[in-house]
Amino acid sequence: MQLDERQRGYWRRNLWLTAWLLGVWFFVSFVISYFAREVEHILVLGIPLGFYMGAQGAPLIYLLIVWWYARQMNELDRDYGVHDADRDD
């Protein structure tokens, strides 16, 4: 399969988006959790930040990440005129 410049461009943009979002994922999952004790004086809805992130904050951010990725990628597909072979509606 010979790749042209457009395909490379598509893949590059995909990788950038993925890397950025994984960075956010890593930060909320591991960095904030590691410092949970250091940020416990910050209260969100009456809950210390470390606990809040584990219970609500991080899961909601995960949801945003997945939503943003789907939106951006589907838009990218449209820009590049991707044909999904099986799509029949």
Partner 1 sequence: MADYMPRLRRYYASYTVGFFAFVLMLAVLERYGMPPRWIGYSFLLLTIFLYATIGVLARTASVAEYYVAGRRVPAVFNGMATGADWMSSASFMGLAGTLYLSGHQGLAYVMGWTGGYVLVALLLAPYLRRFGQYTIPDFLAARYGGNQARLVGVLATILASFVYVVAQIYGVGLITSRFVGLQFEIGVFVGLAGILVCSFLGGMRAVTWTQVAQYAILIVAYLVPVTILSYQVTGIPLAQLTYGRVLQQVQVLEERIFDEPAEVEARRLFRERADAYHDRILTLPESLEEERRDLAARINTLKNDNAQMREVVALERQRRELPRNSEDARSYWETQMHQAAQRGAEPDHHTTAFPGQGESVDELARANFLSLVFCLMIGTAALPHVLTRYYTTPSVGDARRSVFWSLLFILALYLTAPAYAAFVKYEIYSHLVGSPIAQLPLWVSSWGKIGMVSIEDINGDGIVQLAELVLNPDVILLATPEIAGLPYVISGLVAAGALAAALSTADGLLLTIAGALSHDLYYKIYRPNATTQWRLVVSKSLLLVVAVLAATVASQKPATILFMVAWAFSLAGAALFPALILGVFWKRATHAGAVSGMLVGLLVTLYYMVRVHFDSIPWLRIQGIGMEPWLGIQSTAAGVWGVAAGFATIVVVSLLGKPPSRETQDFVESVRYPELDR
- Applying CB under 8 A, the residues found at the interface with partner 1 are 1, 3, 6-7, 10-11, 14, 18, 21-22, 25, 29-30, 33-34, 36-37, 40, 44-48, 50-52, 54-56, 58-60, 62-63, 65-67, 69-70, 73-74, 77, 80-89
Q: For residues 80 and 65, what is the distance between their CA atoms, to the nearest angstrom? A: 22
Q: Which residue has the tokens 């979002």?
A: 21
Residue type, 48: P
Cα angle for residues 41, 47, 52 (degrees, 5° grid): 100
Residue 9 C-beta: closest distance to partner 1, Å: 10
Residue 66 C-beta: closest distance to partner 1, Å: 4
Residue 83 C-beta: closest distance to partner 1, Å: 5
Contacts of 45 (CB under 8 A, 6+ apart): 52, 56
